[in-house]
C-alpha cells in the first residue's frame, strides 16, 4: 500500500510541476533562468571573495555597451 501511495504522490507532484511550467510563458521561464544564473554567479563570487571586482567589471561593461 505504501508503494502505491508513494507512486501516486510522485505522479501528482510531477503533474503539478508540468502544469505549472505549461502555464508560464516562455519569457517568464527565461527571466527565471536568468535570475537563477545571476544568483549562482553571486554565490560563486562571494565564495571566491571577489564580489567587488565582479560588480565593478559588470558595471563598467554595462555602461560601455550603452
pLDDT tens string 17-64: 676 666 667 778 778 887 888 788 778 777 877 777 777 777 777 778
String of b and e for 6-19 (b: at least 16 CB within 10 Å)?
Answer: eeeeeeeeeeeeee
Cα 66 off chain centre by: 26
- CA-CA-CA-CA torsion sign (52, 55, 58, 60): negative
Number of domains observed in the structure of the chain: 1
pLDDT of amino acid 63: 75
Q: Which range marks the domain in which residue 13 is found?
A: 2-65
**Rounded Cα gap, residues 17 and 13, in angstroms:** 6
pLDDT tier, 1 (very low <50, low <70, confident <90, very high otherwise): low
Amino acid at each position: 500500500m505504501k508503494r502505491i501511495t508513494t507512486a501516486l504522490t510522485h505522479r501528482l507532484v510531477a503533474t503539478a510541476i508540468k502544469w505549472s511550467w505549461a502555464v508560464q510563458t516562455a519569457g517568464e521561464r527565461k527571466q527565471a533562468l536568468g535570475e537563477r544564473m545571476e544568483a549562482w554567479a553571486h554565490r560563486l563570487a562571494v565564495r571566491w571573495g571577489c564580489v567587488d571586482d565582479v560588480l565593478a567589471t559588470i558595471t563598467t561593461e554595462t555602461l560601455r555597451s550603452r
